[in-house]
């Protein structure tokens, strides 16, 4: 084997994985990692949990050290080393030692760029305050943690309600800190659709978070031992510290300066072997442009899973193994207090953007057979192609719920990867016993619902459509009186499903009936009955449970909640 | 629409599902269910948990009643009605009313057979004792429950360590009853392989179950208010009651007597539309022969999931919708105390039976990132084709573990359904956050391990092979001294992985090195290093953890445990 020298810039997920795989494939190669921060291969996704105290041991965040990497893999790990520029002609990286400010050259035969992404910091007034933090590295984490301890922080403002913003919100609450969460968009957690977001909003408020949506930050002002976040509408929130978590951007300066071809939003463009436009330079992780599995189009997907896979593939190709990275579909999961929020593939906004004619089903299954104790609930939305050659193909899924949400999203992610359609979902032979599932798993059920729509057995409308109807539209609620007593929609005709067959005389035959129940299943049974009896009807997707989450969200919007802790 | 009359024999999983779907598709049909027992659409898989007290409310087991079925679906449900014979020419079922012993004829246009399977009861002496029970129906459950209460049972013998036998064992223990579990085969839980079974055996013993394997029952004798189970080897176990759970057999008497074509082991043969050899008779559920998804061959798979799917498909076809049942793969899951035991597709015995050239990987991943608290452990075995056109195709998987086992088996079940291979597993984009998973999910890891074997990067042997080697074979343990101190294999050379590169001088170059660690991952790294340095070596699949489970099983085999409750 060659004794080639491979330099890796960035020693976290993708870079560290690449280094380990390189060593396994080539015992003789000279492998060098240059890492700007003081840590390599650290528990990136665990950082918020150190702030919250779920992880208390600093060493757990930094399980691998330069020394352990050397001992196991014979890799030269240099921390606090910043790659300043790349001389592609000479195959040399110019490096600055951040400890003594010296500079030197690191020659390479093959180079892997794993620079990651940077936290976006807009040029707002006051953004350089020492009370304002972003979270990306171990050092960031320790800085936030130490500031909180030192300042005995009681109040925090989190700007941005994406992954990092929500994880930080939860963890700050876990420490007993009051959190104001400010989000520019009308919803938190953009990977899920607007109609799923109310569950997230309600969970935040239930745990005492003061949530402000549609809120644009104009700047920050230090005042009286606090940092005041100012909104465009004039609102101001004073806090001991501010976490800015409005997103990340590919850290591609080095690649750009070296003249490498760039892609979407300044990301590094690579081929399927993760090779950049320079045949001796590979790139992996959050900084690169990938192919989206569902659309086939370029996408930016900054997640740890793909980064790890990519590191291995870059190493393979450097060692002559022609493996390929075939794309990502953005599968993600987030714990938010008692909720699991998870999605894969395209959401409605993304599907519309690429011009896919799609529809979606919404269901609210239990996590396992309800006669066995401890079943959790979830709301599951599955998007599918409504027309064309791939009619019925599953293109995306989202779940907000408790137990079992992560299981179903992974099954759906696998189904999407396999290009499955609705009937494939119905056929999946999943493992069932009462403590784990139902004989018809929620994924099977989603398939059935989609089939029924595609086969024309039922017409479906969303709550958005059902509550914006002409005056003469008729809403029919087929839930039991007990359920209705706990909440219902004004003006609905109320006939329990089990009485419906005998009471059709109460329903108008000249109008469309918009039928709902709690989750959408009984109303589907009602629609089948009614349509065969000559009524015009449509099933309202998601049922009253879905409507109620949204209604609660609207009712509470703008209402300040108390300090962290249950308010319900 | 027609007003056809459809008779369904058997009103549990498949039959009840068929009835409900029939009604949704045809509001005018006359639908009749004939059910031999006193209950329909009951919580079949929940029955053992009523005995154990996890489910305390009888009404939870029997959520649907004839009345509720009529109210919602306008279906005539007749319980305690036994279909005695079918006159196919006249399209009539002869029925006996079990309440008043009268008989009558029930004509049909279309007939669905959903008779299920019967518990196997061998013609052994004493098998008719009133202290001996099988478990299939709600009545069986109540009989066991009431007997235990009445007799204040303290000791039970369970014969058979499959699904029902193990669930009953757990539930009897939950009630504080001492259980002796007798299994004819050398292992419990035949769906998993012999090398995975020690985890099951150890869990049983850890919970105080007295386990007897390789134990053939010759008969039962009543003596002194007890039923004595007698084994071929002379052992005798007295108990207040015996649960006989040695398997089920298709209940196809009716079909056979009607001259319908039969399949494997007396099952009812159906086409892909679930039509029997009589075009007006369909059959679903545990009584039918299905196509195995992996082998394409006929199989018997008595599980609730497929039965429910089949009921729907039979109804579709009766209503002119040409849906098909494309097969089962036997996905199953069982809770046993703190363990989850789950499998899908083929096990080693089944793969060998159909002549597939296969190999398997064994890994012991954590359920989620170990730096986040609460991770469980699991042992995951994945079988794949080793040669031929479909080299690398995943053909089966088994997991024994705690959290997250059911998730991974469902992902693997979906992958098997999609005919995925090893590299497809590596590419799966699954949802990751520290509370739920690892950046490389166990399913991805299984794919990597298989790829490494198929690519010739590592040679693998099983513990069976590694511990049956010629005398000059060298076992190398690369775990840390701390791990070794907690247990290791006599005679292994012990060199921690992180010291291995500097200590290769201690290893013989003329012999094959059999390298192991705790789970198989570090030993893989060691094998890559050593093979590149000119050593001949093989990785021992599953690592010391896998070996230790088996060693503990062997050590405890035959040792009687104490009463239920932890013994470790």
Read off the pLDDT of residues B425-478 as tens digits, 9 standing for 90 and up. 999 999 999 999 999 999 999 999 999 999 999 999 998 888 888 777 899 999
- Asked whether residue B143 falls in the same domain as residue B208, the answer is yes
| A226 closest CA partner among A132, A101, A290 | A132
In-domain check, residue A167: yes
Q: Is B564 a catalytic residue?
A: no
Of chain A, the percentage scoring pLDDT greater than 90 comes to 92
A329 to B528: CB separation less than 8 angstroms, yes or no: no
- In this predicted structure, the answer to whether residue B566 has a pLDDT above a threshold of 70 is no
- In this predicted structure, the answer to whether residue A29 has a pLDDT above a threshold of 90 is yes
Separation of alpha carbons B19 and B37, rounded Å: 17
Residue with tokens 């070794």, as numbered in its chain: B484
Tell me the DSSP string of B504-566: GGGS-SSSEEEEE-SSSHHHHHHHHHHHHTT-EEEEETTHHHHHHHHHHHHHHTTPPP-SSS-
Q: Once rounded to an integer, what is the mean pLDDT over residues A175-179?
A: 97
A369 touches chain B (CB under 8 A): yes
Of chain B, the percentage scoring pLDDT greater than 70 comes to 98
Judged by DSSP in three states, A466 sits in: helix
End-to-end CA distance of chain A: 66
| pTM (two decimals) | 0.96
- In this predicted structure, the answer to whether residue B221 has a pLDDT above a threshold of 60 is yes
A430 to B414: CB separation less than 8 angstroms, yes or no: yes
A194 touches chain B (CB under 8 A): no
**Which band of pLDDT confidence, cut at 50, 70 and 90, is reported for residue B557?**
confident
- Asked whether residue B202 falls in the same domain as residue B143, the answer is yes
Judged by DSSP in three states, B43 sits in: coil
> Looking at the 3D structure of chain A, how many domains does it have?
4
Separation of alpha carbons B228 and B219, rounded Å: 8
* Cα A486 → chain centroid: 33
Of chain A, the percentage scoring pLDDT greater than 70 comes to 98
- Asked whether residue B344 falls in the same domain as residue B448, the answer is yes
**Confidence (pLDDT) at B62:** 83
In-domain check, residue A560: no
In-domain check, residue B123: no
Catalytically annotated residues of A:
45
- Asked whether residue A196 falls in the same domain as residue A99, the answer is no
| Rg of chain A over all Cα atoms, to the nearest angstrom | 26
- Asked whether residue A67 falls in the same domain as residue A94, the answer is yes
Domain C-terminal end among A246, A270, A294 = A246
Ranges of beta strands (E only) in A445-495 are 460-461, 474-477, 493-494
- Least confident window among A35-44, A524-533, B395-404, B557-566: B557-566
Helices vs strands, H then E, count in chain B: 18, 30
| A443 closest CA partner among B305, B135, B368 | B305
In-domain check, residue A301: yes
Tokens of A509: 């035959």
A473 touches chain B (CB under 8 A): no
Chains A and B form CB pairs within 8 A to the count of: 249
Asked whether the beta carbons of A297 and A328 are under 8 A apart, the reply is no
Domain CATH for B372: 3.50.50.60
- Asked whether residue B242 falls in the same domain as residue B258, the answer is no
In-domain check, residue A326: no
Tokens of A233: 């509408």
- Asked whether residue B184 falls in the same domain as residue B221, the answer is yes
- In this predicted structure, the answer to whether residue A173 has a pLDDT above a threshold of 60 is yes
**Which band of pLDDT confidence, cut at 50, 70 and 90, is reported for residue A55?**
very high
Active site residue: B45, B319, B517, B537, which one? B45
- Asked whether residue A342 falls in the same domain as residue A449, the answer is yes
**Confidence (pLDDT) at B217:** 98
A407 to B407: CB separation less than 8 angstroms, yes or no: yes
> Cβ of B506: how many Cβ atoms within 10 Å?
12
Asked whether the beta carbons of B332 and B164 are under 8 A apart, the reply is no
**Confidence (pLDDT) at A563:** 42
A43 to B371: CB separation less than 8 angstroms, yes or no: yes
A371 to B307: CB separation less than 8 angstroms, yes or no: no
> Cβ of B174: how many Cβ atoms within 10 Å?
17
- Bridge pairing between strands A332-336 and A155-159: unpaired
A467 touches chain B (CB under 8 A): no
**Confidence (pLDDT) at B560:** 43
Separation of alpha carbons B530 and B299, rounded Å: 45
- Least confident window among A71-75, A560-564, B165-169: A560-564
A46 to B371: CB separation less than 8 angstroms, yes or no: yes
Print the SS3 string covering A165-190: HHHHHHHHHHCCCEEEEECCCCCCCC
Residues 6+ apart with CB under 8 A from A207: A170, A173, A337, A564, A565, A566, A567
Q: Once rounded to an integer, what is the mean pLDDT over residues A272-277?
A: 98
> Cβ of A301: how many Cβ atoms within 10 Å?
21
Q: Which of residues 318-357 of B touch A (CB under 8 A)?
A: 321, 323, 326, 328-335, 340, 342-344
Domain C-terminal end among A432, A454, A476 = A454
Using one digit for the tens of pLDDT, what is the confidence trace for B14-65?
999 999 999 999 999 999 999 999 999 888 899 999 999 999 998 888 878 9
Using one digit for the tens of pLDDT, what is the confidence trace for A401-423?
999 999 999 999 999 999 999 99
**Confidence (pLDDT) at B3:** 87
B70 touches chain A (CB under 8 A): no
Asked whether the beta carbons of B518 and B478 are under 8 A apart, the reply is no
Asked whether the beta carbons of B380 and B415 are under 8 A apart, the reply is no
Distance from CA of B236 to the nearest CA of A (A): 33
Domain CATH for A501: 3.40.250.10
| Residue B470 phi, psi dihedral angles, 5° rounding | -60, 160
Q: Where are the alpha helices (DSSP H) in B190-303?
A: 197-206, 253-257
* Cα B523 → chain centroid: 31
In-domain check, residue B450: yes
- Asked whether residue B237 falls in the same domain as residue B285, the answer is no
Separation of alpha carbons A40 and A79, rounded Å: 8
| CA-to-CA dists, residue A122 to A247, A515, B89, angstroms | 10, 47, 82
Residue among A46, A333, A429 minimizing CB distance to B436 = A333
Using one digit for the tens of pLDDT, what is the confidence trace for B57-97?
988 888 789 999 999 999 999 999 999 999 999 999 999 99
Optimal mutation site among A410, A447, A520, A533, interface B, most CBs of chain B within 10 A = A410
Which is higher by pLDDT, A380 or B467? A380
**Confidence (pLDDT) at A532:** 95
In-domain check, residue A498: yes
**Confidence (pLDDT) at B561:** 44
- Least confident window among A469-473, B274-278, B360-364: A469-473
A63 touches chain B (CB under 8 A): yes
- SS3 percent helix, strand, coil of chain A, rounded to 5, is 30, 25, 45
Residue among B343, B371, B440 minimizing CB distance to A308 = B440
**ipTM of the complex, rounded to two decimals:** 0.96
Distance from CA of B561 to the nearest CA of A (A): 27
**Which band of pLDDT confidence, cut at 50, 70 and 90, is reported for residue B568?**
very low
In-domain check, residue A92: yes
- In this predicted structure, the answer to whether residue B157 has a pLDDT above a threshold of 90 is yes
Optimal mutation site among A301, A433, A450, interface B, most CBs of chain B within 10 A = A433
* Cα A449 → chain centroid: 25
**Confidence (pLDDT) at A490:** 87
| CA-to-CA dists, residue A5 to A28, A81, A106, A322, B525, angstroms | 9, 18, 10, 19, 20
Q: Domain span at residue B304?
A: 5-116+249-318
A431 to B410: CB separation less than 8 angstroms, yes or no: yes
**Which band of pLDDT confidence, cut at 50, 70 and 90, is reported for residue A2?**
low
Q: Once rounded to an integer, what is the mean pLDDT over residues B220-242?
A: 97
| B112 closest CA partner among B283, B310, B286, B288 | B283
Distance from CA of A550 to the nearest CA of B (A): 26
Residues 6+ apart with CB under 8 A from B40: B11, B12, B15, B16, B33, B64, B65, B66, B69, B77, B79
Burial of B7 (0-12, 13-18, 19+ CB in 10 A): buried
Half-sphere exposure of A131 (CA within 13 A, CB side): 24
Separation of alpha carbons A503 and A561, rounded Å: 45
**Averaged pLDDT of chain A:** 95
End-to-end CA distance of chain B: 66
Domain C-terminal end among A318, A348, A377 = A318
Of chain B, the percentage scoring pLDDT greater than 90 comes to 92
- Asked whether residue A528 falls in the same domain as residue A482, the answer is yes
**Positive or negative CA dihedral for A67, A73, A75, A77?**
negative
**Confidence (pLDDT) at B2:** 55
Separation of alpha carbons A50 and A73, rounded Å: 28
Distance from CA of B389 to the nearest CA of A (A): 19
Tokens of A47: 């950082």
Using one digit for the tens of pLDDT, what is the confidence trace for B253-269?
999 999 999 999 999 99
Distance from CA of B41 to the nearest CA of A (A): 12
**Confidence (pLDDT) at A64:** 86
Q: Which of residues 435-454 of B touch A (CB under 8 A)?
A: 435-437, 439-441, 444, 448
Tokens of B368: 């989620």
- Asked whether residue B92 falls in the same domain as residue B139, the answer is no
Residues of A in contact with B340 (CB under 8 A): 436
Asked whether the beta carbons of B456 and B431 are under 8 A apart, the reply is no
A432 to B333: CB separation less than 8 angstroms, yes or no: yes
- Asked whether residue A314 falls in the same domain as residue A384, the answer is no
- In this predicted structure, the answer to whether residue A367 has a pLDDT above a threshold of 80 is yes
| Rg of chain B over all Cα atoms, to the nearest angstrom | 26
Ranges of beta strands (E only) in B55-195 are 76-79, 81-87, 92-97, 103-107, 110-113, 117-119, 132-133, 155-159, 178-182
Asked whether the beta carbons of B92 and B108 are under 8 A apart, the reply is yes
Residues 6+ apart with CB under 8 A from A223: A238
B26 touches chain A (CB under 8 A): yes
Residue among A26, A46, A414 minimizing CB distance to B414 = A414
Asked whether the beta carbons of B408 and B418 are under 8 A apart, the reply is no
**Which band of pLDDT confidence, cut at 50, 70 and 90, is reported for residue B206?**
very high
Distance from CA of B180 to the nearest CA of A (A): 24
**Averaged pLDDT of chain B:** 95
A45 to B432: CB separation less than 8 angstroms, yes or no: yes
């Amino acid at each position: 084997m060659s004794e080639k020298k491979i330099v890796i810039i960035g020693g976290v997920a993708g870079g560290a994985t690449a280094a380990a795989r390189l060593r396994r494939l080539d015992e003789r190669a000279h492998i060098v990692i240059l890492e700007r921060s003081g840590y390599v291969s650290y528990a990136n996704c665990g950082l918020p949990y150190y702030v919250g105290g779920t992880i208390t041991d600093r060493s757990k965040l930094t399980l691998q050290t330069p020394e352990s990497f050397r001992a196991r893999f014979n890799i030269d790990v240099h921390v606090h080393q910043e790659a300043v520029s790349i001389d592609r002609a000479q195959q040399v990286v110019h490096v600055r030692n951040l400890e003594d400010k010296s500079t030197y050259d690191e020659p390479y035969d093959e180079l892997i760029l794993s620079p990651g992404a940077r936290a976006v910091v807009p040029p707002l007034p006051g953004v350089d305050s020492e009370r304002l933090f972003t979270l990306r590295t171990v050092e960031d984490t320790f800085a936030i943690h130490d500031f909180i301890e030192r300042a005995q922080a009681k109040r925090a403002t989190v700007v941005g309600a994406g992954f990092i913003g929500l994880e930080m919100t939860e963890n700050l609450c876990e420490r007993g800190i009051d959190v104001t969460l400010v989000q520019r968009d009308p919803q938190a957690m953009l990977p899920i659709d607007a109609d799923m977001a109310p569950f997230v909003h309600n969970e935040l408020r239930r745990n005492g978070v003061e949530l402000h949506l549609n809120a644009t930050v104009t700047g920050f002002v230090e005042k009286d031992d606090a940092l005041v976040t100012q909104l465009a509408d004039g609102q101001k929130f004073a806090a001991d510290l501010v976490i800015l978590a409005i997103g990340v951007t590919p850290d591609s300066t080095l690649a750009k300066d070296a003249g490498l071809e760039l892609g979407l939003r300044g990301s590094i463009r690579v081929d399927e072997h993760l090779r950049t436009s320079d045949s001796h330079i590979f790139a992996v992780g959050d900084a690169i442009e990938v192919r989206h599995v569902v659309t086939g189009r370029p996408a930016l997907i900054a997640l740890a899973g793909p980064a790890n896979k990519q590191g291995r593939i870059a190493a393979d190709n450097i060692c002559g193994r022609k493996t390929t990275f075939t794309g990502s579909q953005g599968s993600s999961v987030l714990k938010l207090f008692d909720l699991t929020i998870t999605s894969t593939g395209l959401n409605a906004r993304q599907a519309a953007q690429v011009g896919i004619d799609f529809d979606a089903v919404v269901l609210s299954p239990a996590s396992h057979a309800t006669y066995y104790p401890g079943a959790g609930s979830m709301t599951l939305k599955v998007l599918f192609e409504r027309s064309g050659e791939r009619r019925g193909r599953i293109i995306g899924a989202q779940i907000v719920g408790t137990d079992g949400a992560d299981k179903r999203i992974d099954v759906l992610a696998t189904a999407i990867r396999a290009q499955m359609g609705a009937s494939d979902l119905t056929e999946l032979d999943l493992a069932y016993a009462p403590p784990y599932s139902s004989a018809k798993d929620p994924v099977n059920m989603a398939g059935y619902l989609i089939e029924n729509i595609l086969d024309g057995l039922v017409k479906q409308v969303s709550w958005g459509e059902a509550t914006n109807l002409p005056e003469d539209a008729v809403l029919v609620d087929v839930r039991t009186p007990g359920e209705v007593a706990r909440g219902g929609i004004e003006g609905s005709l109320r006939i329990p499903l089990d009485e419906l067959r005998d009471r059709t005389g109460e329903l108008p035959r000249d109008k469309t009936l918009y039928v709902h129940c709690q989750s959408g299943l009984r109303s589907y049974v009602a629609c089948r009955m009614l349509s065969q009896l000559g009524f015009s009807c449509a099933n309202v997707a998601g049922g009253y449970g879905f409507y109620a989450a949204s209604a609660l969200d609207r009712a509470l919007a703008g209402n300040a909640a108390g300090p962290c802790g249950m308010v319900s």
